[in-house]
């Protein structure tokens, strides 16, 4: 199966995924994203909704891109946009996201800060299939992370679970579908 990773930012999950699995395409909606510079030997593309006349056209361009690269599965790794219908229809049930909370708790942005400020005893990591909502869609895997003394410590604890769990889950999905 050919895997694409979509990332808007740092790309630490992309790094963890690429250490375990072949990545066929990296896409970012931010031309400055560090994620675009990580894998020198993998094709990367960047464009953003503002480059198009409508959001629909941006989504159509994404659907065309995954078709051009014969992508079978897309892993969102810090991709900070809602996925629209054209891409969902291009890869039905084949788009996966990672979110740093135990969904349905703390969806949306700054989920780690939200959990820290709420002083919950535990938070965690969720990997789920993507639908048209924000951090909704069927859950594939979750792992708990206990609350830490500082936000930085909680972020570290969550990211280290992410970097182990995401490649594991993607490898399993890809194995089941080959
Ligand atoms: C991760 O915490 C992920 O769960 C969230 O965005 C962050 C991306 O980090 N969706 P990185 O770009 O992979 O370093």
Average pLDDT for the chain:
97
**pLDDT above 90: residue 178:** no
Q: Which atom of ligand 1 is nearest to the CA of 79?
A: 10
98, 124, 140, 166: which to mutate for ligand 1, most atoms within 8 A of CB?
98
What percent of the chain stands above pLDDT 90? 97
Q: Which atom of ligand 1 is nearest to the CA of 112?
A: 2
Ligand 1 midpoint to CA 42 (Å): 20
Task: Write out residues with Cβ below 6 Å of ligand 1.
Answer: 7, 9-14, 77-78, 98-100, 162
Q: Between the CA of residue 162 and those of 51, 61, 64, 80, 145, what are the distances in Å?
A: 32, 29, 29, 17, 10
pLDDT for 165: 98
pTM attached to this predicted model: 0.96
Q: What is the pLDDT of residues 97-151, one digit of tens each?
A: 999 999 999 999 999 999 999 999 999 999 999 999 999 999 999 999 999 999 9
pLDDT for 11: 97
Average pLDDT over residues 66-95: 96
Our answer to whether residue 99 is catalytic in this structure is yes
Q: What is the pLDDT of residues 16-70, one digit of tens each?
A: 999 999 999 999 999 999 999 999 999 999 999 999 999 999 999 999 999 999 9
Q: Which atom of ligand 1 is nearest to the CA of 76?
A: 10
């Amino acid at each position: 199966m050919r895997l694409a990773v979509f990332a808007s930012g740092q790309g630490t999950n992309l790094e963890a995924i690429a250490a375990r699995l072949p990545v066929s395409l990296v896409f970012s909606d931010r031309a400055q994203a560090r994620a675009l510079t990580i894998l020198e030997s993998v094709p990367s593309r960047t464009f953003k909704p503002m480059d198009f006349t409508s959001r629909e056209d941006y989504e159509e361009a994404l659907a065309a891109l995954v078709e051009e690269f014969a992508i079978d599965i897309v892993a969102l790794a810090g991709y900070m946009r809602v996925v629209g219908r054209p891409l969902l229809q291009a890869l039905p049930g084949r788009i996966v996201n990672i979110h740093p909370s135990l969904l349905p708790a703390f969806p949306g942005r700054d989920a780690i800060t939200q959990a820290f400020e709420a002083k919950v005893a535990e938070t965690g990591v969720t990997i789920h299939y993507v639908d048209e909502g924000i951090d909704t869609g069927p859950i594939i895997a979750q792992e708990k992370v206990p609350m830490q003394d500082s936000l930085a410590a909680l972020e570290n604890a969550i990211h280290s679970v992410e970097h182990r769990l995401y490649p594991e889950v993607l490898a399993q999905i890809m194995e089941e579908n080959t």
